[in-house]
Amino acid sequence: MLSNANRPIKPMSIKEISRSAKIDSLQAIRGFAATGVMLAHGSSMLDERLGYLFLNNLSMVGASGVDVFFVLSGFIILYTSSSGQTTFGNFLKRRFIRIYPIYWIVTAMLIIQYQLAPTLAQAHKGELPVVLGSITLFPQPKYVVGVAWTLTYEVLFYLVFALTYFKSPRLFAYAAGIWAVLILLVYGLDLKIGIYALDALSNPIILEFLFGCILAYVFKRFPDFRHSRWFFWSGLMLLLLMWGLYYQNKTSIGDAFFDEMARVYYFGIPAACLIFGALYLSGAVPRVLVFLGDASYSLYLIHGTILSLLLKLVFKFNLQDSFAGFAGALALFAGTLLISGLFYRLLEKRLLGRLNRLFVTNRAPKPVIETG
pLDDT at residue 365 is higher than 60: no
What's phi and psi for 253, nearest 5 deg?
-110, -5
Q: Where are the domains of the chain?
A: 14-34+62-318+327-359
Q: What is the mean pLDDT of the chain?
A: 90
* pLDDT tier for residue 10 given thresholds of 50, 70 and 90: very low
Tell me: the pLDDT tens digits for 259-309? 889 999 999 999 999 999 999 887 788 999 999 999 999 999 999 999 999
Tell me: the pLDDT tens digits for 286-297? 999 999 999 999
* pLDDT tier for residue 19 given thresholds of 50, 70 and 90: very low
Residues 6+ apart with CB under 8 A from 365: 18, 80, 83, 85, 86
Distance CA 350, CA 353 (A): 5
- 310-338 average pLDDT score: 97
pLDDT of residue 201: 96
Helix (H, G, I), strand (E, B) or coil at 302: helix
Contact predicate 297/145, CB 8 Å? no
Helix (H, G, I), strand (E, B) or coil at 189: helix
Tell me: the pLDDT tens digits for 39-56? 999 999 999 999 999 999
* pLDDT tier for residue 2 given thresholds of 50, 70 and 90: very low
- 224-234 average pLDDT score: 84
* pTM assigned to the model: 0.91
C-alpha angle with apex 68: 63 to 71, nearest 5 degrees?
Answer: 140
